[in-house]
Chain A
Amino acid sequence: MEVTFVIIDDNKEIEEHPLLFTLEDKFKNVKFFSNPQEGLNFIKSNLEINLIVLLDIEFSKDDILDGHDLLKEIYSSSSLVPVILWSGINQANEEFSDFINNRAFGFLSKDCSIAEAMEIVDKAYLFLEKSIENSIEDWIIESPEDKDKPIYFSTEGDAYSLNDILSEVRNQTEIGKDFAQRLNALTIDLLLRGKEKL
């Protein structure tokens, strides 16, 4: 699975941070943004690909958005992107509200080691791998002939192929979210009625 790391931190020195180097060595695609707004724009226009975000919390006061706002914005545009907070300030103050309200994926202190950081990063990777949209993608890669088959019909009567659905889910559109929810319900229903065995 290909994944792109987005690192948003107003401190430009972070671009040369050994953790970023390590991510690049291991996952290739690493994008660094010292301007939070640009980072946010990148995320919003690239929801089609797998993203993992490392986010600083305290930005310089010139920036209109701070880490909390950014996290909220990211979460509201997609709940599928794991966002790891990476900050020098005391974690206890941050954790709770953000973890609960905006589903931060994890918290890294600025003084943590690469090994400690990679533990959370790997978890985020696993989280993506296991998600619905990646299962769909895997399916398409394995059976390309299914790609354009219509599999889902909206109440308006529009038909969606597997490929369309993948894009809808990643972009977290109403159709996409609805589909994911129904898919889960369907699976449970099938399991309960003994129609299918996992």
Chain B
Amino acid sequence: MSLKKEKSIKFNFDVSAYRLIGRELITDRITALFELVKNAYDANAENVTVEFIDINPLTPNSKIIIKDDGIGMQFSDIKNKWMVIGTSSKRRERLSPLPHKRKVAGKKGIGRFAVDKLGDKLVLKTQKKNSSDILCLETDWSYYSKLEDSQLKLNFEDDKPFFTDVENKYWYDIGENEKQGTTLEISQVNEIWTENDISRAFKELSKLVPPNSSISSKYPFNITIKSPYTEFDDIKVKTQLIDFATKKIELTFDKKNKIQEILQYKKGSLSKINVPVRPCGFLKLTLYYFDQPAKSKYKKHFNSEIDGIKIYRDGIITTPFAEYVADQNKQKDILGIDKRRWSGFFDRFGTRDLLGYVEITDENNPEIIESTNRQGFVENEAWEELRKFIIEQIVQLESYFKNVKKVERENTKSSLGAANQDLKTLKKEIASVKKEASPKVQAKLRSIEANLGKIQGSVTKSIKDYSKLEKESKQQENLFMSLVSLQTYAAMFSHMTKHTLGHILTGAEYFYNNYPNPKLEDRFISISKSIYKEMLKLRKGVDFMLKYAKSDTELEEINLKELILNLFDNIYYDRLNEQGIKTIVEIKDNLILNYNRKAIEDIFDNLISNSIKALKDNKEKIIKCSSLTSKNEVTILFSDNGIGIKEKDKHRIFDIFFTDTAEEGGAGMGLYMVKTRVEAMQGSIEVVDNEFKPTGATFNITLPFKK
């Protein structure tokens, strides 16, 4: 029922500009749907229906209708927002209107232009509450593209209409007073939607809403899909049941007693323990881990990827996670799960092994704030703690599974050993029976004995193969270790090279520009001296780097004092000097270790880097290394007077553990590597009482020693 007057309105931008941007930002149909549904959420809608009509095969009646019960738009909204590109009202107002006050999910101000990805013609119908008018607007995108094509053929001089000159019809219909909402009716649908496409849309849209609908929200957000396919004829979008996970973890909290559940791995088992609430507020975490077979089962069954941990707040996904990313490699890892490098090795889990949901609420977690560009969260203590919390739980899970593997390995090994033993006993018994048996039986027994021998042979071989395999994987791990330490070194090396190169380069350049010039004689001398000095520095760096390339297994006699002095006085000289760190070495001149040089250098390399970081905020800075020898042991104490190690961290600093210096390139590998290196030398390392009081840390390394 149309009111008689039909008028027209123009877009307030050049459409070709929009097309350029729109094609970049909204690259496929699913993203388009995603954006449009987010718009409904931002309009305080509680129900949104996406209906597909006649979409396989396409007919003149094919339609996609997106209908919501949100606050709708009035003419001024259409004129000032809908028809304007990149309207930033959502950027200014980060909350949707009262009473919902949702954190707005859309952001680019182009969601509505997603429409032309779906179909060429749009009729928008929108109604505000308490108004009986339905405002209708018609846009025919095919007309714009025809215009675009024809304009390309015109000469520049020719007069041509701007895109903005194109009129879009609008009119008013009469509706019911109590209703409100916006309907997008898209026709001239471009492409067929197969059942598979609808299923993909369903899956992606399901990521908008939290998986545990158990939490009843005051203002729910329901998405419904309607289509000709029986499986999706009228279905509420909710997260698919997660199945096939190797392990599922659920952590919750007790608000009354201010208690948060966390995971703890201890002596082979994983349990939940209660700790006081963290500064990030109460968290609810559901975490699924998939091992390799579970992963393939999951992928095969659900036809979707395992894509990490997401954060939901009050019933909707938080904005950094609210973008649909077609290519998983481009997904931003804002929680830093994959940043913990080498996730495939050392039994570490990455975002491809984990699925999970963190649920937060405005009430419980007011300090967790989405950043204004919606690409992350505001870097504050609460966000830092939230990240830490997630990583900590993953680390516990990792430790648990690492142990499971270890136990399995040992079981295999010992059952092979037991089988071998059984075979031996069997052989003995046969031998003893054989003497008393009849010749016929004896012949039979001989053949059994021969077969047993063969089996025994293969069991022995298996045991050997197994040990070899174990050794090989240990070697591989060592190799990765040196790669990681190489990486730390490379960061330092490139920092040093940058300065050195700058000096040499500009020095040479100065010569080139000015030589000869008797007035500048003094400068030439000072510059050539500094070029020489910088070259020496560079050479030392390169020498040290070359050592990494050397074989890992060579043993040699190492003078410990010289080795440490070399690190302090040459390799780390610049950095120590820059930071004003004083070093003390109290090691006997004649203390010789027979071991692989690189391994020992790695140990002290990491300890020194560690100390430098710990000394960052100190006024007086000291690093001290001393040794004590007894009959069959050498004890090395390595200390600094830096910030020290918190009591609660002491037991876990040697774990492959996420680092709090990630920004400086720390991978949380250092102390783990130190520990494995020391253990490979049959030694041990622990944190003992600080040598320097009141702050600081002291590591006690004990190595076996033959005089």
- Please determine whether A114 and B506 come into contact, CB atoms closer than 8 angstroms: yes
Partner of A17, one of B495, B506, B579: B506
Contact with A along B614-630 (1 / 0, CB 8 A): 01111100000000000
Central interface residue in A89, A111, A113, by most chain B CB within 10 Å:
A111
- Please determine whether A21 and B505 come into contact, CB atoms closer than 8 angstroms: no
B526 interfacial by beta-carbon distance below 8 Å: yes
- Please determine whether A110 and B507 come into contact, CB atoms closer than 8 angstroms: no
B159 interfacial by beta-carbon distance below 8 Å: no
Central interface residue in A60, A113, A114, A115, by most chain B CB within 10 Å:
A114
- Please determine whether B619 and A89 come into contact, CB atoms closer than 8 angstroms: no
- Please determine whether B513 and A114 come into contact, CB atoms closer than 8 angstroms: yes
- Please determine whether B502 and A62 come into contact, CB atoms closer than 8 angstroms: no
B169 interfacial by beta-carbon distance below 8 Å: no
A114 to B224, CA, bound (A): 64
Central interface residue in A61, A88, A112, A117, by most chain B CB within 10 Å:
A61
Partner of B579, one of A60, A109, A117: A60
Nearest-CB residue, chain A, relative to B505: A113
**Which residues of B lie under 8 Å from residue A10 when comparing CB positions?**
578
Given A60-B580, A61-B579, A88-B495, are A109 and B513 also a contact pair (CB < 8 Å)? no
- Please determine whether A60 and B509 come into contact, CB atoms closer than 8 angstroms: no
- Please determine whether B498 and A13 come into contact, CB atoms closer than 8 angstroms: no
Partner of B578, one of A17, A60, A110, A113: A60
Task: Kindly list 11 other residue pairs between chains A and B, CB separation below 8 angstroms, not including A16-B530, A25-B514, A60-B579.
Answer: A16-B526, A16-B527, A17-B503, A18-B507, A61-B618, A62-B580, A88-B499, A110-B499, A111-B498, A111-B505, A113-B509
B200 interfacial by beta-carbon distance below 8 Å: no
**What is A's interface to B at a CB cutoff of 8 Å?**
10-11, 13, 16-19, 21-22, 25, 60-62, 88-89, 109-115, 117
* Chain A to chain B contacts (Cβ below 8 Å), 9 pairs: A13-B503, A16-B527, A17-B503, A18-B509, A21-B520, A61-B617, A109-B498, A113-B509, A114-B510
Given A13-B530, A21-B523, A61-B579, are A113 and B506 also a contact pair (CB < 8 Å)? yes
Partner of B509, one of A25, A61, A62, A114: A114
Q: Shortest distance in angstroms between A34's beta carbon and chain B's nearest beta carbon?
A: 12
A62 to B578, CA, bound (A): 10
B501 interfacial by beta-carbon distance below 8 Å: yes
**Which residues of A lie under 8 Å from residue B579 when comparing CB positions?**
60-61
**Which residues of A lie under 8 Å from residue B526 when comparing CB positions?**
16
Q: Shortest distance in angstroms between B120's beta carbon and chain A's nearest beta carbon?
A: 40
**Which residues of A lie under 8 Å from residue B513 when comparing CB positions?**
22, 114
Given A11-B578, A60-B579, A88-B499, are A19 and B527 also a contact pair (CB < 8 Å)? no
**Which residues of B lie under 8 Å from residue A109 when comparing CB positions?**
498, 502
A117 to B505, CA, bound (A): 12
Partner of B619, one of A13, A17, A62: A62
**Which residues of A lie under 8 Å from residue B510 when comparing CB positions?**
18, 21-22, 114
**Which residues of B lie under 8 Å from residue A111 when comparing CB positions?**
497-499, 501-502, 505
Contact with A along B478-510 (1 / 0, CB 8 A): 000000000000000001011101110111011
**Which residues of A lie under 8 Å from residue B503 when comparing CB positions?**
13, 17-18
**Which residues of B lie under 8 Å from residue A19 when comparing CB positions?**
506
A74 to B133, CA, bound (A): 58
Q: Shortest distance in angstroms between A122's beta carbon and chain B's nearest beta carbon?
A: 15
Q: Shortest distance in angstroms between A30's beta carbon and chain B's nearest beta carbon?
A: 13
A46 to B527, CA, bound (A): 30
**Which residues of B lie under 8 Å from residue A18 when comparing CB positions?**
503, 506-507, 509-510, 523, 527
Q: Shortest distance in angstroms between A100's beta carbon and chain B's nearest beta carbon?
A: 13
Nearest-CB residue, chain A, relative to B514: A25
Partner of A115, one of B501, B509, B514: B509
Q: Shortest distance in angstroms between B654's beta carbon and chain A's nearest beta carbon?
A: 26
Contact with A along B576-595 (1 / 0, CB 8 A): 00111000000000000000
Contact with A along B557-582 (1 / 0, CB 8 A): 00000000000000000000011100
**Which residues of B lie under 8 Å from residue A114 when comparing CB positions?**
506, 509-510, 513
Q: Shortest distance in angstroms between A136's beta carbon and chain B's nearest beta carbon?
A: 35
User: A-B pairs with the 5 shortest C-beta distances?
Assistant: A18-B510, A111-B502, A18-B506, A110-B502, A114-B509
Central interface residue in B495, B502, B507, B579, by most chain A CB within 10 Å:
B502
Nearest-CB residue, chain A, relative to B522: A21
Q: Shortest distance in angstroms between B309's beta carbon and chain A's nearest beta carbon?
A: 26
Nearest-CB residue, chain A, relative to B615: A61
- Please determine whether B498 and A88 come into contact, CB atoms closer than 8 angstroms: yes
Nearest-CB residue, chain B, relative to A110: B502
**Which residues of A lie under 8 Å from residue B578 when comparing CB positions?**
10-11, 60
**Which residues of B lie under 8 Å from residue A22 when comparing CB positions?**
510, 513
A62 to B507, CA, bound (A): 30
A16 to B528, CA, bound (A): 11
Nearest-CB residue, chain B, relative to A58: B578
- Please determine whether B514 and A110 come into contact, CB atoms closer than 8 angstroms: no
Nearest-CB residue, chain A, relative to B526: A16
Nearest-CB residue, chain A, relative to B495: A88
**Which residues of A lie under 8 Å from residue B507 when comparing CB positions?**
18
Central interface residue in A18, A21, A60, by most chain B CB within 10 Å:
A18
Nearest-CB residue, chain B, relative to A61: B616
Nearest-CB residue, chain B, relative to A115: B509
Nearest-CB residue, chain A, relative to B510: A18
A63 to B325, CA, bound (A): 44
A123 to B616, CA, bound (A): 36
**Which residues of A lie under 8 Å from residue B498 when comparing CB positions?**
88, 109-111
**Which residues of A lie under 8 Å from residue B509 when comparing CB positions?**
18, 113-115
- Please determine whether B495 and A89 come into contact, CB atoms closer than 8 angstroms: yes
**Which residues of A lie under 8 Å from residue B523 when comparing CB positions?**
18, 21
**Which residues of B lie under 8 Å from residue A113 when comparing CB positions?**
505-506, 509
Q: Shortest distance in angstroms between B521's beta carbon and chain A's nearest beta carbon?
A: 12
A22 to B619, CA, bound (A): 36
Nearest-CB residue, chain B, relative to A15: B526
A132 to B503, CA, bound (A): 37
**Which residues of B lie under 8 Å from residue A89 when comparing CB positions?**
495
A10 to B513, CA, bound (A): 27
**Which residues of B lie under 8 Å from residue A16 when comparing CB positions?**
526-527, 530
- Please determine whether B616 and A112 come into contact, CB atoms closer than 8 angstroms: no
A117 to B498, CA, bound (A): 15
- Please determine whether B527 and A21 come into contact, CB atoms closer than 8 angstroms: yes
Q: Shortest distance in angstroms between A13's beta carbon and chain B's nearest beta carbon?
A: 7
Nearest-CB residue, chain B, relative to A117: B506
Central interface residue in B495, B506, B523, B615, by most chain A CB within 10 Å:
B506
Q: Shortest distance in angstroms between A36's beta carbon and chain B's nearest beta carbon?
A: 14
Contact with A along B228-268 (1 / 0, CB 8 A): 00000000000000000000000000000000000000000
A62 to B615, CA, bound (A): 11
Q: Shortest distance in angstroms between A35's beta carbon and chain B's nearest beta carbon?
A: 13
**Which residues of B lie under 8 Å from residue A25 when comparing CB positions?**
514, 520
Nearest-CB residue, chain A, relative to B512: A114
Q: Shortest distance in angstroms between A182's beta carbon and chain B's nearest beta carbon?
A: 31
A110 to B504, CA, bound (A): 11
Given A60-B578, A60-B580, are A112 and B617 also a contact pair (CB < 8 Å)? no
A153 to B610, CA, bound (A): 62
**Which residues of B lie under 8 Å from residue A11 when comparing CB positions?**
499, 578
Q: Shortest distance in angstroms between A4's beta carbon and chain B's nearest beta carbon?
A: 20
Q: Shortest distance in angstroms between B522's beta carbon and chain A's nearest beta carbon?
A: 10
A19 to B505, CA, bound (A): 10
Central interface residue in B497, B505, B618, by most chain A CB within 10 Å:
B505
**Which residues of A lie under 8 Å from residue B499 when comparing CB positions?**
11, 88, 110-111
A19 to B520, CA, bound (A): 14
